[in-house]
Structures are given as structure tokens and as C-alpha cells.
Amino acid sequence: MFHDLKNLIFNAIQRAGVSRQVEAATVVELFNKLAPEILGEAISRSAKAIYIRNNILTVECASSLIMQELRYREPEIIQAINKQAGGQAVEKIRYLT
């Protein structure tokens, strides 16, 4: 008898009690994956998502100039992440320089 791998993984994550951590890692990865498409290669190399807590994504920026660009584009970034995540995964972005 065959089982759907997606369901097996989902059930294992639920049993292990790590679903929140998996969701958080997925959101961080989504930012880092979508950044080149949204911001361009040069800017995306200077900004990396590092963690999410309470629907606030924390992004490390190489400079205040990069931080300002991300702030300007924040609604677009949040919308793209939430669309890919399938819900309200991110409400706000916090920036570190």
C-alpha cells in the first residue's frame, strides 16, 4: 500500500511538535527565494531574512541604504510572501543593519 509522501511528512511534523519551526523556516526561505525577483540581484545579495516571530519577519541588511529600499518596497514584499505561503504569514518586517 502506498501513502502520499506529503501527508506522511505533514503527520511526522505534527507528531514531533515542530510545525511552528517548519513554518518559520519556510517563510524565511520564501523571502530569500523571492528577494531576487522582487528587489533584483544586487539588492537581494545585501538583505537576508534571519527569523520570524509573531508574524514579524526580521531581515538583516548590509547598509541603511538597502534598509530604506526594503522599507519602501515592504508592502510588495509582504504580499508576495503571503501569496506564496497561502495565508497571513508576515504582517510586518523588522530591519537590522
The single-letter code of the amino acid at 94 is R
| % of the chain at pLDDT higher than 70 | 78
- Are 74 and 67 within 8 A, CB to CB? no
Q: Which three cell numbers stand for residue 41?
A: 540581484
Q: What is the CATH number of the domain that holds 85?
A: 3.30.300.180
Asked if residue 48 belongs to a domain, the reply is yes
pLDDT tens-digit map of 53-76: 999 999 999 999 999 999 999 999
Give the lowest-confidence range in 16-30, 47-61, 77-91: 16-30
What pLDDT was estimated at residue 35?
Answer: 93
At a CB cut-off of 8 Å and minimum separation 6, what does 33 contact? none
CA-closest candidate to residue 88, choices 96, 97, 78? 78
Domain extent, residue 43, equals 19-96
Grid look-up 510588495 returns 76
pLDDT tens-digit map of 37-58: 999 999 999 999 999 999 999 9
Task: Domain count for the chain, please give it.
Answer: 1
